[in-house]
Amino acid sequence: MYNSPYLRQNTSVRRVMTTVLVAMLPAIAVQSWLFGAALLVQIALASATALACEALMLALRGRPVAPALTDMSALVTAWLIAVCLPPLLPWWTTVLGTAFALIIGKHLYGGLGQNPFNPAMLAYALLIVSFPALMSQWPGLNVGDFATQMDWVFGGARALDGVTGATPMDALRTGLMTGSDTAAVMRSTAFGHVAGAGWEWVALAWGAGGLLLLALRIITWHVPVAFLAVMSLVSGIASLIDAAHYAGPALHLLAGGTMMGAFFIATDPVSGATTPRGKLIFAAGIALIAWLIRAFGAYPDGIAFAVLLMNICVPLIDMKTQPPVFGHKNGGAP
């Protein structure tokens, strides 16, 4: 015996998660095309680790394994971790990060729907704090054939100095530290048109996938709009004040994790704010903190730390931004 409603929309967590995976495909395809298929291997590694950890933790917790394994949420976490990491990372680093995200970040808090922190960002934060050197080895355009790349990932070969280049964010940081200015750094050949050779296309692909999520109503406009608007605003103001030391909005929007963060990370419903106003505050906070870390912090990109810091604020944000309920808006007046 069950009660009304007897009608149910044809929807499920699996469908939602699968849609997110599909929306990630453009960016994954572009990045693999430009930077080599090592990314696909990393995604496979992360996926296998995530599913294994999910199954293990569910079994340890005495929960039914099959429904949770097929809800695709572990795969979303795995894919998001894999695309955040440099694709030539040694295999065990990816496995470690993914296992940490699933075991500590997700299941120790109670599993799906219970984690206060974005698991993918936890993994990224753990790895960049623990292995900053490994985490800065990003490949340049068309570096090495697939066999060479696999040797780096699985063989332990780390003579990467010739093949990896700085990401635009790294280049900017190093350039500014060596006394150059933003314009000079960005004129270098590795910098591409706006925000790093190749990486700007990856960023646009993330944007395209994000628009798909918006169109399919998986996410609402609040988070990406607030995120990108605040990122443009603060970087625009800073570059107007001192263009030599602060890059403009174009770089900040298309480099690093901005696009992915705005559409795929900050929109995570479990660890993010849920009310409309709360989402605006949450996303604006991430963009602001991320820019501060980029401009003044010790790390080249700050999306992960910004997300984790704002995750802490979510309960407060949600509590303080409850929308007025029906009839309580303006005393019921039309």
Interatomic CA distance for residues 16 and 25, integer angstroms: 15
CB-nearer residue toward another protein: 202 or 219:
219
CB 304 within 8 A of CB 84: yes
Please state the closest distance from residue 333 (CB atom) to another protein, in A. 7
Please state the closest distance from residue 121 (CB atom) to another protein, in A. 17
What are the residues binding another protein (CB under 8 A)?
1-9, 11-13, 15-16, 67-68, 71, 73, 111-114, 220, 269-270, 274-275, 318, 322-329, 332-334
Please state the closest distance from residue 311 (CB atom) to another protein, in A. 13
CB-nearer residue toward another protein: 58 or 293:
58
Please state the closest distance from residue 184 (CB atom) to another protein, in A. 46
CB-nearer residue toward another protein: 164 or 275:
275
CB-nearer residue toward another protein: 88 or 273:
273
CB-nearer residue toward another protein: 162 or 332:
332
The full 3-state SS of the chain, as one line of letters, equals: CCCCCCCCCCCCHHHHHHHHHHHHHHHHHHHHHHHCCHHHHHHHHHHHHHHHHHHHHHHHCCCCHHHHHCCCHHHHHHHHHHHHCCCCCCHHHHHHHHHHHHHHHHHHHCCCCCCCCCHHHHHHHHHHHHCCCHHHCEECCCCCCHHHHHHHHHCCCCCCCCCEECCHHHHHHHHHHCCCCHHHHHHCHHHCCCCCCCHHHHHHHHHHHHHHHHHCCCCCCHHHHHHHHHHHHHHHHHHHHCCCCCCCHHHHHHCCCHHHHHHHHCCCCCCCCCCHHHHHHHHHHHHHHHHHHHHHCCCCCCHHHHHHHHHHHHHHHHHHCCCCCCCCCCCCCC
Please state the closest distance from residue 112 (CB atom) to another protein, in A. 5
CB 293 within 8 A of CB 305: yes
Please state the closest distance from residue 321 (CB atom) to another protein, in A. 10
CB-nearer residue toward another protein: 62 or 334:
334
Please state the closest distance from residue 219 (CB atom) to another protein, in A. 9
CB-nearer residue toward another protein: 1 or 298:
1
CB-nearer residue toward another protein: 134 or 214:
214
Please name which of 323, 310, 315, 230 lies closest in space to residue 275, comparing C-alpha atoms.
Answer: 323
Please state the closest distance from residue 257 (CB atom) to another protein, in A. 22
